[in-house]
């Protein structure tokens, strides 16, 4: 086996036999060493090396193929590089490993595998475990599940860190009740164990969009400071809903105590995956410390087996459209943050609150943004009290056909 030509030789093999033939040839070439084949995304040696936990040298012969992509962001973008085909040498704890990376396309699907070669099978498995364990730890990031795999999102993490329950306006003691519910849960492990009760919790936040459900979740995550697993979708092009649901719950069990966020639960669960989802939820009895924190705008679309069985989702909290008192408080909060020249009078605050019956918090925010833009255009002709009422009338006409996104509230 010639290492300088081996990548090219391997990629000439048929897609059906490639993985077996490569494993067989490596075993023949390294008869006294350990070999491990993996496609596990948690075996991310680049990130592990980037943290200073090992050293990696990429061989220049054979040619190391790199794929470049452009990652778009709110403030421009950046280049992302991924190694597609290469040989590497890894140094870790006075040990040396070879790593072969291969990528190929078959029937419209791209496959990527790695082969780790070391002094013994125990050595390669120990290194593999160390890398995967490190990559599955949650550090200053949120794990987001989408398209069948986990990604770490620092952007979402910092959005949560900037969220606070202090400036979230909700009726009565709703905010405090939800926070204390979860706080008591995490503090009560020994109590649950003493009474032989499964230490698990399920909560659904219910209500029309734009009334603080997303803000509540972010504020809770920031205040409670437990690991978060955020599920965008169970759909994926190359894996089934059932496999993805199992992957989410497996990760939750390994990450406990943690919070699994299922926003828009009605869009995540359907007739096809419902039974499997319920089996995983019910299986939490043996997996302690997991909170399912779900939201829905359409509770009527969720099967009663999910909504109405306490052992699955114990509590439902309702986020209704704000009443006059909440609208007054929200408008006052916004008004205080404005420049003095654009602030409403006390009468203006009262009139705005009365004129916005039926507005969500998201629409109240949109009211202030649009009023400010309008006031800038005509500030020499009128005052903010008048502008805010005009914009309230204008926005009410739009409410029939559209709603601002919930996280805008």
We report the CATH number of the domain holding residue 166 as 3.40.50.300
Task: Please check whether residue 72 lies inside any domain of the structure.
Answer: yes
Task: Please check whether residue 102 lies inside any domain of the structure.
Answer: yes
Give the three-class secondary structure for 292. strand
Percentages helix, strand, coil for the chain, rounded to the nearest 5?
Answer: 45, 25, 30
Range of the domain at 218: 152-318
| Number of domains the chain contains | 3
Q: Are residues 216 and 285 in the same domain?
A: yes
Give the three-class secondary structure for 34. strand
Task: Please check whether residue 242 lies inside any domain of the structure.
Answer: yes
Q: Are residues 368 and 285 in the same domain?
A: no
Task: Please check whether residue 142 lies inside any domain of the structure.
Answer: no
Asked if the model's pLDDT at residue 73 lies above 80, the reply is no
Q: Using 50, 70 and 90 to split pLDDT, how confident is the model at 402? A: low
Residues whose CB is less than 8 angstroms from the CB of residue 133 and which lie 6 or more positions away in sequence, other chains included: none
The answer, yes or no, to whether the previous bond of 257 is cis (omega within 30 of 0) is yes
Q: Are residues 180 and 240 in the same domain?
A: yes
Buried b (16+ CB within 10 A) or exposed e, 133-172: ebbeebeebbbbbbebebebbeebbeebeebebeebbbee
Task: Please check whether residue 217 lies inside any domain of the structure.
Answer: yes
How much is the pTM? 0.79
Q: Are residues 312 and 330 in the same domain?
A: no
Q: Are residues 55 and 172 in the same domain?
A: no
Residues whose CB is less than 8 angstroms from the CB of residue 380 and which lie 6 or more positions away in sequence, other chains included: none
pLDDT at 107: 81
pLDDT single digits (tens) 1-26: 888 899 999 999 998 899 999 999 99
pLDDT single digits (tens) 175-208: 999 999 999 999 999 999 999 999 999 999 999 9
Mean pLDDT over all residues of the chain? 92
Q: Are residues 313 and 329 in the same domain?
A: no
Task: Please check whether residue 191 lies inside any domain of the structure.
Answer: yes
Q: Using 50, 70 and 90 to split pLDDT, how confident is the model at 400? A: low
123: closest CA among 88, 86, 87, 98? 98
The CB density around residue 7, as the number of other CB atoms within 10 Å, is 20
pLDDT at 178: 98
The two three-digit tokens of residue 76, written as one number? 């421009």
Are 65 and 86 within 8 A, CB to CB?
A: yes
Average pLDDT, integer, range 377-383: 84
How far apart are the C-alpha atoms of 249 and 255, rounded to whole Å?
Answer: 10
pLDDT single digits (tens) 245-281: 999 999 999 889 999 999 999 999 999 999 999 999 9
Task: Please check whether residue 369 lies inside any domain of the structure.
Answer: yes
Compute CA distances 276 → 113, 149, 249, whole Å: 29, 18, 11
Q: Are residues 84 and 101 in the same domain?
A: yes
Residues whose CB is less than 8 angstroms from the CB of residue 193 and which lie 6 or more positions away in sequence, other chains included: 199
Q: What percent of the chain has pLDDT over 70?
A: 96
Largest CA distance in the chain: 87
pLDDT single digits (tens) 205-227: 999 999 999 999 999 999 999 99
Of 318, 351, 379, the one marking the end of a domain is 318
Q: Are residues 230 and 291 in the same domain?
A: yes
Q: Are residues 41 and 170 in the same domain?
A: no
Give the three-class secondary structure for 334. helix
Are 257 and 225 within 8 A, CB to CB?
A: no
Asked if the model's pLDDT at residue 403 lies above 70, the reply is no
Q: Using 50, 70 and 90 to split pLDDT, how confident is the model at 154? A: confident
Number of H helices, E strands in the chain: 16, 13
How far apart are the C-alpha atoms of 241 and 255, rounded to whole Å?
Answer: 21
Q: Are residues 308 and 373 in the same domain?
A: no
Q: Between 148 and 327, where is the model more confident?
A: 327
Beta strand spans in 163-289 (E): 200-206, 228-231, 258-262
Task: Please check whether residue 80 lies inside any domain of the structure.
Answer: yes
How far apart are the C-alpha atoms of 5 and 25, rounded to whole Å?
Answer: 13
Q: Are residues 39 and 171 in the same domain?
A: no
Alpha helices in 225-340 (DSSP H): 241-255, 265-268, 274-282, 304-307, 324-337
pLDDT single digits (tens) 355-378: 999 999 999 999 999 999 999 988
Of 110, 137, 164, the one marking the end of a domain is 137
Of 290, 318, 346, the one marking the end of a domain is 318
Q: Are residues 199 and 299 in the same domain?
A: yes
């Amino acid at each position: 086996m010639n290492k300088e030509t081996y990548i090219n030789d391997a990629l000439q093999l048929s897609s059906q036999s490639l993985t077996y033939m490569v494993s067989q040839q490596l075993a023949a070439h390294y008869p006294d060493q350990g070999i491990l084949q993996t496609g596990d995304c948690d075996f991310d040696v680049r990130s592990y090396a980037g943290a200073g936990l090992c050293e990696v040298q990429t061989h220049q012969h054979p040619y190391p193929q790199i794929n470049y992509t452009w990652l778009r962001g709110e403030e421009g973008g950046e280049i992302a590089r991924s190694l597609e085909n290469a040989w590497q040498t890894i140094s870790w704890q006075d040990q040396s490993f070879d790593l072969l990376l291969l990528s190929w396309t078959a029937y419209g699907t791209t496959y990527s595998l790695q082969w780790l070669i070391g002094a013994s099978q125990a050595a390669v498995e120990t290194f593999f475990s160390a890398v995967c364990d490190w990559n599955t730890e949650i550090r200053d990031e949120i794990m987001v599940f989408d398209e069948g795999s986990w990604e770490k999102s620092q952007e979402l993490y910092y959005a949560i860190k900037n969220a606070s329950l202090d400036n979230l306006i909700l009726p009565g003691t709703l905010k405090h009740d939800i926070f204390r519910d979860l706080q008591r849960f995490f503090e009560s492990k020994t109590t649950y164990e003493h009474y032989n009760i499964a230490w698990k919790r399920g909560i659904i936040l219910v209500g029309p969009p734009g009334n603080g459900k997303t803000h509540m979740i972010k504020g809770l995550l920031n205040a409670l400071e437990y690991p978060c697993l955020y599920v965008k979708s169970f759909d994926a092009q190359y894996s089934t809903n059932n496999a993805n649901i199992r992957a989410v719950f497996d990760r939750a069990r390994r990450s406990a105590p943690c919070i699994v966020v299922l926003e828009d639960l009605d869009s995540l669960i359907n007739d096809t995956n419902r039974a499997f989802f319920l089996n995983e939820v019910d299986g939490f009895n043996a997996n302690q410390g997991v909170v399912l924190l779900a939201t829905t705008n359409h509770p009527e679309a969720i099967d009663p087996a999910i909504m109405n069985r306490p052992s699955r989702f114990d509590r439902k909290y309702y986020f209704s459209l704000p009443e006059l008192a909440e609208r007054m408080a929200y408008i006052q909060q916004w008004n205080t943050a404005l420049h003095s020249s654009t602030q409403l009078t006390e009468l203006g605050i009262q009139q705005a609150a009365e004129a916005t019956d039926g507005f969500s918090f998201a629409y109240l925010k949109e009211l202030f943004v649009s009023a400010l833009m309008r006031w800038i255009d005509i500030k020499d002709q009128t005052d903010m009290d008048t502008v805010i009422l005009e914009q309230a009338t204008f926005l009410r006409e739009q409410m029939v056909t559209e709603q601002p996104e919930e996280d805008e509230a």
